[in-house]
Amino acid sequence: MKRDYTILCHRMLRCLAVVCIIALPLSGCNTRTQATVPTQTASTGASAATSTPTALLPTTTRTSARSMPVDAASQCSVIPGKIEQSCTSARTGLKYWLYLPPAGTENEKPPLLVYLHGFSHSGSDLNRLLAGGLPAQIENGRSLPMIVVSPQCPVGENWQYGAMVDRLSQFFSEMVTQYGADPRRVSLTGFSMGGDGVWALGIAHPEQFTALAPVASWYRKEEIVCALKDVPVWDLQGEQDRIALPAYAKKMTAALEHCGGNVKLTLFPDADHEGSSRQAYGMDELYSWFLEKGGPNLPPTNK
């Protein structure tokens, strides 16, 4: 009896030993298995460190045309054939709208057309510029084979006065360089206060411009207008305008003509102040005239 009990105990101990040998590796209590755990964790961590940037790459490099900057200095994104409203001049701090011509309309450097808005569109909200004038024309579907920029005048300032005239001159030079425009084909137009700016800028820096087109301007400095005798000027004015009187335009253009200047005057019989802007910037002939000055005539389209 005692012998049988001893044999049974030995058998039970052997079974327990076998179970332990089998169970220990599965339970993780084997020292070799424990030693491999940090190695596996470190390997997993390294894999995560490698894969995390890979996972982030699409959000940092997959950039649409809308968010692709022209360069670091421009502080804006551009889409060919569209106006972009978030531009800021690096040199002058002026905010501005930008329009780039559709692809294929120019083989080399495109011409540049600068539009100066009227007094009521001053401020810091570029959406105000879409209320009228040239930006509204483009926003509503007009396609032009030229670069168009429209700076916004800060509140309390005026396009035609000293410091702003110098600031705009720097702005024009920056735009030519920034967007690769042809420096021999830079035209300037503007409505109301912007029309005054056209006269003032042109007289102060005639060497910068290929053509000028003031619209509904009340600028009255005939005594200095001869500075523009070598720059083509097209003055456009509403005959029913009670803000910028037609007499102002007639005197300015007559004085420039007397100097031997290349100038013409268009009067819209039924147009008031705002009507002058709508009619002037609604004319295909105006844009063709800009394109004729200093370069080939590429016809604009109004889609």
pLDDT (tens digit, 9 = 90+) per residue, 150-174? 999 999 898 988 899 999 999 999 9
pLDDT value, residue 95? 92
Q: What percent of the chain has pLDDT over 90?
A: 55
Find the mean pLDDT for residues 134-156: 92
The answer to which of 58-67, 141-150, 180-189, 200-209 has the lowest mean pLDDT is 58-67
Nearest to 236 by CA among 267, 197, 212: 267
* pLDDT of 66 over the 60 cut: no
CA distance 299 to 303: 13
Sorting pLDDT into bands at 50, 70 and 90, what band is 18?
A: very low
* pLDDT of 34 over the 70 cut: no
Number of neighbouring beta carbons within 10 Å of residue 288? 13
CA distance 246 to 273: 10
Identify the CATH number of the domain defined by range 70-302: 3.40.50.1820
Domain extents in the chain: 2-61, 70-302
* pLDDT of 44 over the 50 cut: no
* pLDDT of 183 over the 60 cut: yes
Considering the entire predicted model, what is its pTM? 0.72
Provide the token pair at 264. Answer: 């013409």
pLDDT value, residue 121? 86
pLDDT value, residue 234? 98
Please give the mean pLDDT across all residues of the chain.
77
pLDDT value, residue 270? 96
Sorting pLDDT into bands at 50, 70 and 90, what band is 176?
A: very high
Q: What percent of the chain has pLDDT over 70?
A: 68
The answer to which of 48-57, 108-117, 200-209 has the lowest mean pLDDT is 48-57
Find the mean pLDDT for residues 142-149: 93
For 100-125, how does the pLDDT look when each residue is reduced to its tens digit (9 = 90+)? Answer: 888 765 557 899 999 999 998 888 88
Question: What would the DSSP string read from start to end of 71-131?
Answer: -TTT-SB--TTSEEEEEE-TTT--EEEEE-PPTTS-SSPPPEEEEE--GGG-SS-GGGGGG
Choose between 260 and 108: higher pLDDT.
260
Find the mean pLDDT for residues 4-22: 48
For helices 162-179 and 193-204, angle between their N-to-C axes, nearest 10 degrees: 80
The answer to which of 47-51, 124-128, 136-140, 282-286 has the lowest mean pLDDT is 47-51
* pLDDT of 7 over the 90 cut: no
For 205-253, how does the pLDDT look when each residue is reduced to its tens digit (9 = 90+)? Answer: 999 999 999 999 999 999 999 999 999 999 999 999 999 999 999 999 9
